[in-house]
Homo-oligomer: A and B are copies of this chain.
């Protein structure tokens, strides 16, 4: 009988446990989370400067009254809206075979320092990956690393969520920027 009551107790614990699973809800923020998938890519942003329309992968398309559409506005570019279609590569070489495109926009949003807000997608259609990963978030680009949200995905990345850590791998003047993106996915379907 003791065994049976132990069993009953275990059962109750089991039931309580499973009915409380709210997987997300009660997770402690101190807990270290292990990603279900990690990916590293580079993308390459070449901003239109009035002379490089052939090579440019990005262009300023909105600017405040004091700005213009080819020169990055003073006041740390505040208000410049840039649209981009950047090649994605597996290593840090601009001339490597692109395995996808980073497409979307950023908008410089501080007067005191370079900071941007990003909305974009990685669009893959290669043997490695098919589908898209969608991103949004603040990019305080003078920080060595900065985290943005993976807000969804399609195809191989159906319904995924996670965090991407961006770092500026290299830049040349205000025209070429190479970004490294380490993508850690914590929800994989």
Contact = CB atoms under 8 A, between A and B. Distances in A.
Describe A's contact surface by its main secondary structure: mixed
Instruction: For chain A, give the interface size range.
Output: 35 or more
A45 interface: no
A79 B59 contact: yes
B152 A161 contact: yes
A78 interface: yes
Contact of A120 (B78, B117, B132, B155): B117
A116 B71 CA distance: 24
Interface in A39-81: 48, 50, 53, 59-70, 75, 78-81
A115 B103 CA distance: 9
**Total copies of this chain within the assembly:** 3
Interface string A168-186: 0000000000000000001
A139 to B, nearest CB: 9
B189 A29 contact: yes
B65 A62 contact: no
A95 interface: no
A84 B115 CA distance: 11
B152 A136 contact: yes
Nearest to A50: B65
Contacts of A81: 61-62, 81, 83, 105
Interface of A: 3-4, 7-8, 10-11, 13-15, 17-19, 21-27, 29, 31, 33, 36, 48, 50, 53, 59-70, 75, 78-81, 83-85, 101, 103-105, 107-111, 115, 117, 119-121, 123, 131-132, 134, 136-138, 140, 147-156, 158-159, 161-163, 186-189
Given A85-B110, A117-B120, 8 more contacts: A15-B17, A24-B187, A31-B189, A61-B79, A64-B69, A81-B105, A83-B108, A159-B187
